[in-house]
Each structure stands twice: as structure tokens, then as C-alpha cells.
């Protein structure tokens, strides 16, 4: 069983994430790609991140139509800041037979050596770095046998830009899946002056 792991804040999930996951799924013959929304991301505490439940549900909405895509709650249900090492350890415990492929954009790949327990990361998963407009994709300094680079269709989309667009009342249609546009409107996420509480569970 070959399991792709797509970690992210997904605030909101957009077509850049989905194209990257789909392309790696095909190229690496993955049986499944599990999207893992972070709890509180340790790199992002300067900015207020939307409630984990909102980010989780948007990820479910966005991935529901793809039979190979699933979503995991391991990071949002673990207290404290999210470290990828914990994500991979938990997934390995849940799926002991799976070979893990952690999918990451060029920007995140360049940071990886600064992540907690960086050495052990490469024991737990093979890393697939994907191209992202505006960033240079490089494996320099990383263990060559544990890292692959994959070109994916260029999607110049970021969650930061999507949030800024909503705040300015500009469209995010076609940048994020239709269901995510509707979810953002329904809960008034990212709109100027509207606090985003967690949805009822």
C-alpha cells in the first residue's frame, strides 16, 4: 500500500493543493492520498488561523469527489502545535503496512531541515517536492535517496491570496473548488470584520 500524505494549513484549500496531490498520486502510483489539515501550525502563530474544524470541513468538501483522496484528523485532534514528525508517526501507527510519501511544495521543501527531528522525517517517509510558481525546487542538502522532485502543472495560487481576495470582496471562483467558495460564504470566513467561529459539530 503506497500512501501519499498532503499536509497543509488549508486555510482555505485551493486548486494548487489538489493538482499537486493528483499529479503525485498518478506519477508515483499511490493507492491513496490522505490530506492532513494542521492543528495550530508552529510556523504561523503570528497570524490568526481559521478554526481547525472549518479547515477540516473545507478539505473534506474539496476532496470528496476523488475516490483516492481522503482526509485525516490526526493533526487537528492532537493538542498543541503541529509538527510533521508527529503526523508521520501517527499515520504509521494507524497504517503500519503503508509506505508513506509526503508531498510538499518547493517553498516548504526548502524549510524542511529546520523542522523538528528532521533526520527522522526521512526514515518515516519518502519526500516528494513539487514545483510551485515563485519558488525554486531544489533537493540540495537533503538525502537524495529519500527525496524526489516532481514537476506539476503551475498553479499560481496561495491561500494567503485567496484570503486577501475574500477580504477585498474579490472572487475566488476557479481558484478553489465551488463547494469551498460556498463554504467560505456560508460561514463568512476571511471577510473583513467578521470573526470566524467554529461550526457546530
Give the binding site for ligand ATP (CB under 6 A): 8-11, 16-17, 20, 104-105, 107-108, 130, 132, 155, 157-160
Q: Give the residue nearest to ligand ATP (CB).
A: 105
CB of 13: closest distance to ligand ATP in angstroms?
A: 8
Query: What letter would DSSP give residue 51?
Result: P
CB of 41: closest distance to ligand ATP in angstroms?
A: 8
Residue number with CB closer to ligand ATP (36 or 96): 36
Residue number with CB closer to ligand ATP (30 or 108): 108
What span, in angstroms and rounded, lies between the C-alpha atoms of 118 and 85?
8
CB of 132: closest distance to ligand ATP in angstroms?
A: 4
CB 182 within 8 A of CB 173: no
Residue number with CB closer to ligand ATP (58 or 98): 58
Residues 6+ apart with CB under 8 A from 100: 3, 5, 88, 91, 92, 124, 125, 126
Query: What letter would DSSP give residue 173?
Result: B
| Residue 184: count of CB within 10 angstroms of its CB | 22
CB of 50: closest distance to ligand ATP in angstroms?
A: 10
Amino acid at each position: 500500500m503506497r500512501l501519499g500524505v498532503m499536509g497543509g494549513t488549508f486555510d482555505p484549500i485551493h486548486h494548487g493543493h489538489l493538482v499537486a496531490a493528483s499529479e503525485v498520486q498518478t506519477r508515483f502510483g499511490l493507492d491513496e492520498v490522505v490530506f492532513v489539515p494542521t492543528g495550530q501550525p508552529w510556523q504561523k502563530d503570528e497570524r490568526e488561523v481559521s478554526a481547525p474544524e472549518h479547515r477540516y470541513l473545507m478539505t473534506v468538501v474539496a476532496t470528496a469527489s476523488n475516490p483516492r483522496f481522503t482526509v485525516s484528523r490526526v493533526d487537528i485532534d492532537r493538542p498543541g502545535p503541529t509538527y510533521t514528525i508527529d503526523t508521520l508517526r501517527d499515520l504509521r501507527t494507524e497504517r503500519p503496512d503503508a509506505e508513506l510519501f509526503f508531498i510538499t511544495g518547493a517553498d516548504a521543501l526548502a524549510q524542511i531541515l529546520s523542522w523538528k527531528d528532521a533526520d527522522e522525517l526521512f526514515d518515516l517517509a519518502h519526500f516528494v517536492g513539487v514545483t510551485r510558481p515563485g519558488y525554486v525546487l531544489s533537493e540540495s542538502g537533503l538525502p537524495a535517496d529519500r527525496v524526489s522532485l516532481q514537476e506539476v502543472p503551475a498553479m499560481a495560487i496561495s491561500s494567503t491570496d485567496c484570503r486577501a481576495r475574500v477580504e477585498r470582496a474579490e472572487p475566488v471562483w476557479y481558484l478553489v473548488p465551488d463547494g469551498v467558495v460556498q463554504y467560505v460564504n456560508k460561514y463568512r470566513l476571511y471577510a473583513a470584520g467578521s470573526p470566524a467561529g467554529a461550526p457546530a459539530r
